[in-house]
Amino acid sequence: MLAVALSLSLTLSAAPKSHPYTVKDQVTLRRLASLDVSADGKQVALVVRETDLEANRGRMDIWLVNSDGTGLKQLTTHPENDSDVRFAPDGKSVYFLSARSGTQQVYRLSLEGGEPVAVTQSPLDIGSFILSRDGKQLAFSADVFVGCDGLECTQKKLEEQAKNKATGKLYTELLYRHWDTWKDGRRSHLFVMSLPGGTPKDVMKKMNADAPTKPFGGTEEYTFSPDGKQLVFTARDVGREEAWSTDKDVFSTPVDGSAAPKKLNAPNKGTDTGPVFSPDGKTLAYLSMARAGFEADRQRVMLRNMADGKERELAPNWDRSADAVVWSADSKTIYVSAEELGQRGLFALDVGTGAVKPLVTSGNVSWFGRAGDGLVYAWDSLKGPTDAFFVSADGSGTKQLTQLNADAMAQIRLGDFEQFSFAGANGDKVHGYVVKPVDFDPKKKYPLAFLIHGGPQGSFGNHWHYRWNPQTYAGHGYAAVMIDFHGSTGYGQAFTDAIRNDWGGKPLEDLQKGLAAALAKYPFIDKNKVCALGASYGGYMINWVAGVWNEPFKCLVAHDGNLDEKFAYYGTEELWFPEWEHGGTPWENPEGYEKHNPSQHVSKWKVPMLVIHGGRDYRVVDVEGMATFTALQRRGIPSKFLYFPDENHWVLKPANSVLWHETVLGWLDEWTKK
């Protein structure tokens, strides 16, 4: 078989005065990566990413804006990424991470002028950092060998390993590779040092566990106690059970390393994370899942009295899952973000009564922090990328602080969208979104991109996505429809739980009824020109649809999806996920893996399919995509296989993102615009 050479058609020509949203826009728009608010609430520091097409990478710099929206300016312009910005307690400087010296270190930049100065001299890359409340101590994470005495010990061992000409690696436990990385024996440990210039101390020296947890944990997982004497952090310290356990715990340890870390919440076997002390220091809030082995259980807000150790759940009757915690200045209110009916909003929880008050109810709230008499937060929606906003503490008023893409968005035309609902499986109310084509004409008929989200505990909500943005289809002349089927988040925990042991049941019924509802409600959709697309669980669902519901579709796109659920268990790394979803291991409950297994229905496949997979995807291994393509080719079904050897479960490199979108849109055009 001859390999087909694929080329990029992206050009750097000047954009026209006004144009439909394009793949180039998708890749090159500025992205607000994170933010931090000064202690006095007067300034906001931003990490802004811009795309360097020539270097085929994103580049992040530090920006600053006043909390009233004035004075936006860029602080750093170094070719290396400057990220993870946070204010010094006095507000006169900011700290951030940068690899401008060759290794990633913590830098300090005075807001009164001057150049950034390195405050750490670690021989290893620093992964994350926080400051104590008084600014006199720094805690940071670095990957080290357990038991090593100091950072230099790990550096020396790495140098010795590099001299070994043998390339084989011997493993004795699972999770030997995770997400997109093969392990080398190191763990992410937390170090504490005094400022300026203290000696870093590993405060979890003998723990065979990661803090922050891998692969996505960050500074939200550790904090100083108000007096600066303790470091409280999250870790999953479960020995050889790590690959099938979700038992993360909150630990406390002296900052001088004089005692071993101690669990604060030992009885709970689910995930506990995100510790945050109240401003008065009396209470520790953290997020907790009650059920062991379930990564998408409801995240409850727990409050721990630091005087007597007693704990209670805040707002136990609020059937939503909190994402993050920020305290009010008077310690009487906790602010959280949470998904709510296809939105991700901002809510105020009264610490005394547990009463819940919505503050921001539409769009997608991500990072947020306290700012004077309100909150600064990052917000996006299906109509635009992320910017910084301010909302008053009672939710009575909001104000936009930044317009990072004002010039670019003024030249872009987007499709209008609306949310709709219908009676799905069991007669339950199910929600979806439709995005109309750009330059919509109600007299015309348009082909449909039917997008299926991953997770499966996720949502295709009112959110500006940089990989699965329905506006890319709207800009290319398609309508887009997304259904939040049973298993989706933001509709109550029972709705999320409903997918367990039923991957191809109620979700499929919701998709079928959702498509029917959209076709009935929106006559501009051409029912004879429908293609379905999905990634991760959505990719699994495409493979399932291909065998059990292929009639409506002209074409399919499966990205990083399982073909065989039983084999997928043995190929993946986080075993708690399939064990929960399918009711045990394949040898304990083989029926749980076979009853909705796409590989059992390949004989009924007939719809043309584009298969996409990343070579560094260890969550859904690449052989699943190869097997899918093999089945399609052997059956003589028109098909293509787009393989990214350097991408993980996502497609992150700008050039690869362009190639992905152009290939997908070209595939849809081939089968809907003949």
Considering the entire predicted model, what is its pTM?
Answer: 0.95
Q: Domain containing 546: what range?
A: 414-672
Mean pLDDT for all residues in the chain: 95
DSSP-assigned letters across all residues of 242-262: GGG----EEEEEETT--S--E
CATH number reported for the structural domain that contains residue 511 in this entry: 3.40.50.1820
User: Nearest to residue 645, comparing CAs of 625, 630, 673?
Assistant: 625
- Confidence band, pLDDT 50/70/90 cuts, at residue 16: low
Share of the chain above pLDDT 70, in %: 98
Position of tokens 């009672």?
394
Q: Is residue 109 part of a domain?
A: no
What average pLDDT does range 177-188 have in this prediction? Answer: 97
Confidence (pLDDT) at 87 = 98
Structure tokens at 442: 């109600």
pLDDT digit string, tens, across residues 265-314: 878 999 999 999 999 999 999 999 999 999 999 999 999 999 999 999 99
Residue length of the chain? 674
Whether residue 245 is predicted with pLDDT greater than 70 in this model: the reply is yes
What distance in Å separates the CA atoms of residue 531 and residue 36, rounded to the nearest whole number? 42
Q: Is residue 450 part of a domain?
A: yes
What average pLDDT does range 71-92 have in this prediction? Answer: 96
- Confidence band, pLDDT 50/70/90 cuts, at residue 263: very high
CB of 539 closer than 8 Å to CB of 558: yes
Q: Is residue 88 part of a domain?
A: no
Whether residue 108 is predicted with pLDDT greater than 50 in this model: the reply is yes
Confidence (pLDDT) at 15 = 44
Position of tokens 């109550």?
492
What distance in Å separates the CA atoms of residue 521 and residue 621, rounded to the nearest whole number? 39
Catalytic center residues? 536, 617, 649
pLDDT digit string, tens, across residues 362-403: 999 999 999 988 999 999 999 999 999 999 999 988 999 999
Confidence (pLDDT) at 674 = 74
Q: How many domains does the chain have?
A: 1
591: enclosing H helix or E strand: helix 590-594
- 105 strand-pairing partners: 98
Q: Is residue 524 part of a domain?
A: yes
Q: What are the residues whose beta carbons fall under 8 Å from the beta carbon of 650, sequence distance 6 or more?
A: 467, 614
Q: Is residue 101 part of a domain?
A: no
Q: If DSSP states are collapsed to H, E and C, what string results for 414-432?
A: CCCEEEEEEECHHHCEEEE
Edge-to-edge strands, sheet with 128-131: 128-131, 137-145, 186-194, 201-202
pLDDT digit string, tens, across residues 559-594: 999 999 999 999 999 999 999 999 999 999 999 999
pLDDT digit string, tens, across residues 618-649: 999 999 999 999 999 999 999 999 999 999 99
66: enclosing H helix or E strand: strand 57-66
pLDDT digit string, tens, across residues 615-624: 999 999 999 9
What distance in Å separates the CA atoms of residue 431 and residue 339, rounded to the nearest whole number? 13
Q: Is residue 44 part of a domain?
A: no
Q: What are the residues whose beta carbons fall under 8 Å from the beta carbon of 215, sequence distance 6 or more?
A: 178, 179, 180, 181
Confidence (pLDDT) at 4 = 35
DSSP-assigned letters across all residues of 274-333: EEEE-TTSSEEEEEE--STT-TTS--EEEEEETTT--EEEESTT--S-EEEEEE-TTSSE
Confidence (pLDDT) at 17 = 80
Q: Is 658 helix (H, G, I), strand (E, B) or coil?
A: helix
- 49 strand-pairing partners: 31, 60
CB of 576 closer than 8 Å to CB of 293: yes
- The single-letter code of the amino acid at 102 is G
Edge-to-edge strands, sheet with 609-614: 417-423, 429-435, 479-484, 446-452, 525-535, 553-559, 609-614, 639-644
User: Nearest to residue 590, comparing CAs of 618, 565, 624, 555?
Assistant: 565
Q: Is residue 22 part of a domain?
A: no
